[in-house]
């Protein structure tokens, strides 16, 4: 959803998505481009500028993905409680 | 969504999700259990029977996940076309 508000450069995406490797971000963007969700525009400046932008298809995916994200935010406390309980049971059974 | 219609045994899930390895299914189910989305019930028969079932939290995740699945089915033709075009461009640039 980093591209929801318009085109972004590779370096901007890498900074915004903290902890992603150059290789993983490259592969992910190539996969999104191949699936028709993102376009990749190269501006022949020196150094060349590469911008990524959501296509119409990509924009249409925002709603279901945002709904999933909203579900996670809403239920994060329950998930954390469940993990704590699971881990303590696992500890007891050691 | 294999558990949407009620509890299922490990072996049923493995058969239903063709191509998943024993290890991957075990790890995935353990992760879902840890996150509080699935319960794991062991019936001490011989051999023991292990049933997995969606919790209330798991049931609440159905809607956003089904919406994402519906989006994929609806847009699969566009994705396939985009992939074919991407691959032929990649072929040309070799």
* B9 touches A: beta carbon within 8 Å: no
Q: Which residue has the tokens 């089915």?
A: B73
What number of H helices and E strands is found in chain B? 4, 3
The answer to whether the CB atoms of B60 and A67 lie below 8 A apart is: no
The reported pLDDT for the residue numbered A92 is 85
pLDDT digits (tens, 9 = 90+) for B4-27: 888 999 989 999 988 889 999 999
3-state secondary structure of A7: coil
Beta carbons of A55 and A39 less than 8 angstroms apart: yes
The long-range contacts involving B56-60, CB below 8 angstroms and separated by at least 24 positions, are B57/A75, B57/A78, B57/A79, B57/A82, B58/B3, B58/B32, B60/A71, B60/A75
Cα angle A60, A37, B72; round to 5: 60
Q: Give the nearest partner residue to A83 out of B34, B71, B86, using CB atoms.
A: B34
| pTM to 2 decimal places | 0.76
- How close A2 gets to chain B, by Cα (Å)? 18
Q: In which residue ranges of chain A is pLDDT below 70?
A: 1
Beta carbons of A21 and A28 less than 8 angstroms apart: no
**ipTM for the complex shown:** 0.77
Mean pLDDT, chain A, rounded, equals 92
3-state secondary structure of A36: coil
pLDDT digits (tens, 9 = 90+) for B17-75: 888 899 999 999 999 999 999 999 999 999 888 999 999 999 999 999 999 999 999 99
């Amino acid at each position: 959803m980093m591209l929801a508000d318009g085109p972004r450069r590779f370096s901007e995406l890498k900074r915004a998505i903290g902890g992603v490797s150059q290789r993983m971000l490259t592969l992910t963007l190539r996969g999104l481009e191949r699936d028709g969700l993102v376009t990749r525009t190269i501006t022949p400046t020196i150094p060349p500028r590469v911008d990524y932008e959501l296509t119409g298809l990509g924009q249409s995916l925002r709603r279901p993905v945002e709904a999933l994200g909203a579900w996670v935010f809403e239920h994060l406390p329950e998930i954390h409680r469940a993990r704590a309980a699971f881990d303590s049971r696992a500890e007891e059974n050691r």
